[in-house]
């Protein structure tokens, strides 16, 4: 789980581009420009899960559905207190969390201590999920694989039906560009809104396919400088999606109202 903390002001950073020609004379150029960078990046591990207590939990329960224990819920609640103190009075935070149940439960406990006016955005991000060790797991096999991984090397060892450390590195690296884009958008507009609603993994699992040749419509909406697309209510029901899936989560978070007719939006 990532939380990105922004301070109120935009700070000035010095960027230096060094050039080393093949001849002896090398030189450096520097220029100053304003950019909105997060004050800090905070990584938070989920609280104690059932899988941390008993490896056999993975035998009958998919890894992404393994919940927190009572101790894990308490740990997550206390982590929220620490996060609140770090954020302080003037800070704002942008949350990214994986679709795993234990991570979502941790996120829920953190939010008890962070007021809505301090939250820029909350986003479920599958690319920062934990390493995949396989589907329903045989405990003894996993122990053997982990022993073999220790001998082979953790980064390149690939679990059967799972991932190598290299795979995790690749998908998480692709997430970094999203993080940078969100920082830039926050600088431009004040906070970021998903233009198109991205459904959670659980919502995807409960949804159904459209009928053959069925149209699914998303209408453009706007509020001041912000633009997004909302799913038609009739089509949402046809896809068996929850009511809150009609519009992006961050539109709901910031209580934005939009004209019913997209033609009311100012020209971009």
Question: Which residues are designated catalytic?
Answer: 46, 130
Give the 3-state DSSP-derived string for 217-231, with helices as H, strands as E and coil as C: CEEEEEECCEEEEEE
> Could you give phi then psi for residue 87, rounded to 5 degrees?
-65, -45
CA distance 167 to 162: 9
Strand ranges of the sheet holding 40-43, from the earlier edge strand across to the other edge: 40-43, 2-6, 92-97, 119-124
CA distance 76 to 67: 12
CA distance 13 to 45: 30
């Amino acid at each position: 789980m990532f939380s990105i903390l922004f301070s109120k002001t935009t700070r000035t950073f010095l960027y230096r581009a060094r050039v080393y020609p093949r001849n002896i004379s090398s030189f450096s150029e520097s220029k100053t420009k304003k950019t909105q960078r997060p004050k800090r990046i905070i990584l938070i591990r989920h609280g104690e899960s059932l899988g941390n207590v008993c490896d056999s939990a993975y035998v009958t329960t998919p890894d992404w559905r393994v919940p927190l224990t009572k101790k894990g819920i308490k740990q997550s609640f206390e982590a929220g207190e620490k996060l609140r103190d770090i954020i302080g009075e003037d800070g704002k935070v942008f949350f990214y969390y994986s679709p795993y149940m234990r991570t979502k439960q941790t996120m829920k406990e953190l939010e008890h201590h962070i007021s809505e006016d301090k939250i820029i955005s909350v986003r479920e991000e599958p690319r920062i999920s934990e390493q995949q060790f396989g589907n329903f797991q045989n405990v003894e096999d996993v122990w053997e694989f982990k022993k073999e991984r220790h001998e082979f090397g953790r980064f390149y060892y690939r679990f059967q039906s799972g991932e190598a450390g290299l795979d995790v590195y690749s998908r998480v690296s692709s997430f970094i560009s999203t993080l940078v884009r969100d920082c830039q958008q926050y600088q431009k507009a004040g906070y970021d809104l998903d233009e198109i609603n991205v459904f959670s993994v659980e919502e995807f699992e409960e949804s159904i396919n459209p009928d053959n040749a069925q149209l699914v419509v998303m209408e453009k909406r706007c509020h001041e400088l912000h633009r997004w697309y909302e799913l038609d209510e009739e089509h949402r029901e046809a896809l068996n999606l929850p009511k809150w899936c009609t519009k992006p989560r961050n539109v709901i978070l910031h209580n934005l109202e939009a004209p019913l007719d997209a033609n009311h939006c100012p020209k971009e």
